[in-house]
Structure 1
């Protein structure tokens, strides 16, 4: 999902907005002054590889600290401690995280954005703190990991936004308008990503309540109970629903995006909300987690429509 998100953000969303080559009366109004994207294809490949390595490190460290809970929640899928020793897992975590940091730092330095190194460093630290401490807390861990996933879109835009060069006032104003449009679309996708992941994290906590009880975690379902926690997830789902309706309302002039949003995002999400309201068992919440991943996937795939319009 991370790889797909980065590729579509760059090659479907950003490229289509900044290089659409719209003309009016033989005068190209938009994007004639952009000398190119900030990252070359090679640099973008390195950036993507860096993010994937850091993400992999996050999964590894999370599994290391989750050994006791996974023995209860998903014993059949337990890898660390069975197929891979804990010592080897720590080595893999250190290797992937440090290599990801090194590559991310290289891309930052070569693009003259040295300050971006702290994004990679901060992400690694946040993933470690989440796995060690924050995921056991009341909603804080859920929020942190959701924001980190939303950061995937942000960092892709941050590194790939074109740099305009023009003294023509008309083109300068056009480029500013295009930048604002990209900002609004980016914020929309980030909010969607954060909310969907936040809801899914709550559902996963409900699903894993038995294992979390063993490590004395203070997650939402442990404090409120499974049923009340599901209602909290439903509350945030209602917020996401309102957000989706606002976005769809703004797309009423764009039939393609509007139709896609209704059929492939809104309808599946409404079904998700219905299932969430009636779910009670661990199996039910496991299905909900998978259903939310489908909603998230269709949301990200909508970026393709910006390219084909």
Structure 2
């Protein structure tokens, strides 16, 4: 029973769920900090929005693992969940359960808190199916869509809190939401691409033609470097106009150069996984630093 429970949390990517909470907590508290007496958006609404997005992510992760069951049998035969602990049928039951819960919370959210949520949630679900059924198996497009959906979390929160943001009229606060979206997008694309490099053999065995399958491992690493350099240049541009964020991007740039050095030393799949975790840590650190220096 304990093994099954642990496998369930692994399928739903419990760590991803924790990371998703950071934008909600940081951005809501930042809005509260800038206008404690003016906040009109109830905390219950932001909590329900957070929970609903977490359900969507969990359902998408389960569907992704169902689609990748043959790939995972090659890449991680001893640690995969589906086909070892969960059957395909049980995985679909979990996916359907998560989607039913998502529909219920989405109806509550739309009716009582956030009337635009109905079309946002439908769009996210459609994109999730497009990603898992088609784009995931194409060069780079799947990585871009995954990053865009992750970045949109901060923009959805911004939309939900729009009435408060208009009242507060704070350039710093508005920039904070945009920086969360930018950092998410800029980190997730190279992270997903580097993981595609680590999954190359399994992807090829299932006719999954990601960018590394098209241009090779070494060339894909240079694409990752190019994407990170573009982010670094955008960070320098942001600091030029908003000097109070120089430590955020200064630390981020140094750590990204460390990652790029690490990436070219990666040989085994576990090396890429560790490097990917390092990128997660860089993203979280930049979230926290960005928020802290917005308060100053």
TM-score grouping bracket, smaller chain normalisation? 0.7 to 0.9
The answer to whether the 8 A contact 1:137-1:218 is kept is yes
Deviation at 1:282, TM superposition (A): 3.1
3-state DSSP of counterpart to 1:77: coil
The change in CA–CA distance for 1:115 and 1:260 in structure 2 (over 3 A counts) is: closer
In structure 2, the residue matched to 1:29 is none
> 2 CA distance for matches of 1:154 and 1:104?
18
- Whose helix fraction is larger, Structure 1's or Structure 2's? 2
Match of 2:247 in 1: 259
In structure 1, distance between residues paired with 2:294 and 2:35: 11
Task: Between 79-88 and 194-203, report the one with greater CA deviation.
Answer: 79-88
Partner of 1:249: 240
Residues 68-217 of structure 1: matches in 2 within 5 Å?
68-111=70-113, 113-163=114-164, 175=167, 177-178=169-170, 180-217=171-208
Question: Hey, what's the Cα distance between the residues in 2 that align with 1:276 and 1:14?
Answer: 37
Which residue number in structure 1 is paired with residue 289 of structure 2? 302
207, 214, 227: which one pairs with 1:236?
Answer: 227
Structure 1 unaligned spans of 5+: 20-31, 165-171
Instruction: State the distance in 1 between where 2:240 and 2:209 align.
Output: 39
Confirm whether residue 3 of structure 1 aligns to residue 11 of structure 2.
no
1:101–1:121: 8 Å Cα contact kept in structure 2? Answer: no
Cα distance in 2 between the residues matched to 1:281 and 1:181 = 43
Q: Which runs of 5+ in 2 are unaligned?
A: 1-18
Q: Distance in 1 between matches of 2:225 and 2:267?
A: 13
Offset of 1:102 from its aligned partner? 2.4
Q: Which range moved further: 92-101 or 135-144?
A: 92-101
Structure 1 pair 147–292 and aligned structure 2 pair: CA distance change class (3 A): same
Q: Deviations over 1:174-196 (max 9, x none)?
A: x4742x54333322221111111
Q: Residue 275 of structure 2 aligns with which residue?
A: 288
Q: Which residue number corresponds to residue 12 of structure 2?
A: none
TM-score, length-scaled by structure 2: 0.86
Question: More deviation in 59-68 or 73-82?
Answer: 73-82
- Contact 2:176/2:290, CA 8 A, preserved across alignment: no
TM-align CA RMSD: 2.2
- Give the drift of 1:125: 2.0
The alpha carbon displacement at 1:90 in A equals 0.7
Distance in 2 (alpha carbons) for counterparts of 1:280 and 1:235: 20
2:6 is aligned to: none
Contact 1:234 1:277 in 2 (8 A): no
Deviation per residue, 1:186-215 (Å, 9 max, x gap):
222211111110110110100100100011
Provide the aligned length of Structure 1 versus Structure 2.
278
Give the number of the structure with larger relative contact order, counting CA–CA contacts within 8 Å between residues 6 or more apart.
1
